[in-house]
Amino acid sequence: SPTSHRRRKDLQGSQIERLKRDSKELKHYIKKQEKKGDSNLVYKLRAKYEYLNSRISEVELDIAI
């Protein structure tokens, strides 16, 4: 039904905003760790950051359909 579809989009919209906020915070944290010189942690965090952004893209595509 159109109502449940709209509700799903709203849920995904709020989910995506939360993911984007997490992504932005993670990016700042990565920069901090780079300055500290913790390259092992930075490597792991970057992988997490890439995964998070790919999830954001997937959800955005799903919303667009």
State the SS3 of 9-29: HHHHHHHHHHHHHHHHHHHHH
pLDDT of amino acid 65: 64
Closest CA to 16 of 62, 65, 47: 62
Global pTM reads 0.77
pLDDT given at position 15? 83
The helix, strand and coil proportions of the chain, stated in percent and rounded to the nearest 5, come to: 95, 0, 5
User: What are the tens digits of pLDDT across the range 4-57?
Assistant: 667 667 767 788 889 999 999 999 999 999 999 999 999 999 999 999 999 899
Task: Check: CB of residue 63 under 8 Å from CB of residue 12.
Answer: yes
Q: What is the pLDDT of residue 60?
A: 85
pLDDT at 26: 98
pLDDT at 38: 94
Are the beta carbons of 34 and 42 closer than 8 angstroms?
yes
